[in-house]
Amino acid sequence: MIGREDVAHVARLARLALTDAELETMREQLNAILAHIDALKAVDTAGIEPTSHAVPQFNVMRDDEPRPCFPPEEMLANAPDRSGDFFRVPRIIEE
């Protein structure tokens, strides 16, 4: 069972500002879902390799040659806030 504090911690990691009511609903629902998922722990997987992808595909390399990229104006067109050719965000470092 995960408690209220665990849920609040995960919400901080996930950058989700949840209300107290949402935290409580989330706690109940996550516990119900985890109760189902916990059945996996009983599956014998000794000696079984993990699967990260369905097809055997490994590192794909290409020649390191210059190629055209998107113009800054197009990449900034959806920006919520900008300053020149930069994305502007709230101050991170104290003055």
* Contacting residues toward another protein, per CB under 8 A: 2, 6-7, 10-18, 22, 26, 29-30, 32-34, 36-37, 39-41, 43, 45, 48-55, 57, 60, 62, 70, 74-75, 77-81, 87, 89-92
Closest distance of CB 39 from another protein, Å: 6
Give dist(CA 64, CA 31) in Å, integer. Answer: 48
Closest distance of CB 2 from another protein, Å: 7
Give dist(CA 5, CA 26) in Å, integer. Answer: 12
Give dist(CA 64, CA 61) in Å, integer. Answer: 9
